[in-house]
Structures are given as C-alpha cells and as structure tokens.
Amino acid sequence: MSVLNAERIKLLSTRSPWWCALLAVALPVGLTALIASQAQIDPGDNGGSVQVTQMLASLGRAVVMVMAALSVTSEYRFGTIRSTFQAVPHRTTALLAKTVVTAIPAMLIGAVVGFGSWAVFRAINSFPALALDSAEDWRAVAGQIVVYGITAVLALGVGILIRQTAGAVAVLLVYALLVEGLVGLIPKIGDDIQHWLPFFAADRFLGVQAGPPIDDLPLGPWGYLAYFAAVAAVVLTAGILSAQRRDA
C-alpha cells in the first residue's frame, strides 16, 4: 500500500500529468460540444445515436497514451527510477504499483470523457436516440473507462520497454494512429492482420468507429475487449521482465 501511495504522490506532484489530463478531457469534450452545436439532425427521423457522441474519444485516448508513457520515461530521463528501485528493490512490485496508479487516473479520464461527451452533446442537442437504453449504448460510453485504463497499461508497458520519452511517444502514436490504419491497405492479407490489432480490437468493443460488421469478425465485442486487455498484459509483462533484467 505504501508503494501505491508513493507512486500516487510521484504522479500528482509534477505538472505534466495534470496538463495531460486537462487536455485529454478538454479536447474531446470541447470538440464534441462543437459538433453537437452544429448538428442538425431532423428530430423526426430519430437521428443521431449515442455512438455519435463518442467519436472524439480517440483524441483523449491518444493523450492518455502519452501521459502513461511519460509517467515512466520521465523517471528514466531524470534518473529517479534509481531512487524508485532503491526504495522498492522488488521491481515488479514497484512497476505494478505504477501501473495501478497510472491506470486509475486514465480510467477516471475515460469516465469523464465518455459521460462528459455524451452529457454535453445531449445538453446541446437532445435527441431521444441519445438515451442510454441499450447494452451497445452503455458499452460505447461506459466502455471508455475500461478502454482508457487498458490503453494506459499498454502505453506504460511500451514506456518501460523503450525507456525514452521521444521514442516511446513516437512509437505509440505512430502505431495507434497510423500503422493500424495503413495495414488495411495491404492487399489480401491486410484485413486479416488488421482484425487482430489491439486498437482495432478496442474500437470493436466500443462499437463507435465505423468498421466491418462485427458478425464478420473473429471475435465479438467482449471477446475483443478481452483480447485488447491480453495484449496490454503481454506488453506490460515484457516491460517488467526487461526492467528486472536491465540495470536501472
């Protein structure tokens, strides 16, 4: 418990997590408000859907990824990782504590982004279709909590492996925002590979982004969530194993 507390103090006593959190919430919620204010869906055709309110959540997710990676790479940058391992020589414990302390704020941010975007959209443009009245609706909104949390764990794992801010941030963003999309352009095999990529999986769980119908895919929404979590767990484990082996 003291390890968790130490990590919490470490995270919240520097400015960058606050900045990231602010941006991660303000960007998607703000832009969603903009979209809502411009939306002119004919109320008669019961237009709009809960999913529309979540289109910008990926923006906050990218920022959370940066925040999670920074939480460990900045420790390597300033050499404080040595103090960390000095205080808690059991590195697995130290890093798991850091994972928990990074994932919880990420989930909070996910909750604020998910429900915040939905509430803001609804406050500006109250279509009946925006009610949270189905399992899909709840998955799209409340699902952000889990997806943000797992994303943070994945990013943290990459941060531990790469140890270097610029490298980790570049790899994470290029991968999530570019590679997964470009893979689809590879003829023949592209689609099959894409169906097993982690952020594609996260998006299938949320059901927000346009994509192939879920029935044509190898997993269902919950299967995809489990798969996304498993990938994050594997990356984190790889990170922890390498941290144990390497000199701090």
Partner 1 sequence: MTTLLATERIKLFTTRSPWWSAFLALGLTIGFAALVGLNHSGGPLLVEHSQFGTQFGLMVVSVMAALAITTEYRFATIRATFQAVPKRTSVLVAKTAVVAILAAVIGEVAAFGSWLTAYAIDGGPEMAITTGADWRMVAGVGLVFAVTAVIAVAVGTLVRQSAGAISILLIWPLLVENLVVLIPGVGANIHDWMPFTVASRFLNGAEPIAPMGPWASLAYFTGVAAVLLVAALAVANKRDA
| Smaller CB separation from partner 1, 135 or 170 | 170
The only residue of 64, 155, 162, 169 in contact with partner 1, by rule CB under 8 A = 169
H/E element holding 192? helix 189-194
Alpha-helical regions (H) of 48-164:
57-77, 80-87, 91-124, 135-162
Dist CA 225 CA 75 (whole Å): 30
In the bound complex, what is the minimum distance in angstroms from residue 171's beta carbon to partner 1? Answer: 10
Burial of 100 (0-12, 13-18, 19+ CB in 10 A): middle
Chain residues 86-145 in contact with partner 1, contact rule CB under 8 A: none
Residues 245 and 238: their CA atoms lie apart, in Å, by 11
Token pair recorded at residue 15: 């400015």
Q: 62-86: string of b/e by CB count within 10 Å (b at 16+)?
A: bbbbbbbbbbbbbbbeeeebeebbe
Residue closer to partner 1, measured from CB, 52 or 88: 52
Q: Is 46 in the site for partner 1 (CB under 8 A)?
A: no
Q: Is 58 in the site for partner 1 (CB under 8 A)?
A: yes
Instruction: Compute the least distance from the CB of residue 56 to partner 1, in Å.
Output: 6
How many residues of this chain bind partner 1 (CB under 8 A)? Answer: 32
Which of 3, 21, 29, 63 binds partner 1 (CB under 8 A)? It is 63
Instruction: Mention every residue, 6+ apart, whose C-beta is less than 8 A from residue 234.
Output: none
- Return the range that interacts with partner 1 (CB under 8 A); candidates 65-73, 109-117, 194-202, 215-223: 65-73
The least distance separating partner 1 from the CB of residue 169, rounded to whole angstroms, comes to 5
> Which residues here bind partner 1, judged by CB under 8 A?
16, 31, 34-35, 38-40, 55-56, 58-59, 62-63, 66, 70, 73, 165-166, 169-170, 173-174, 177-179, 182, 185-190
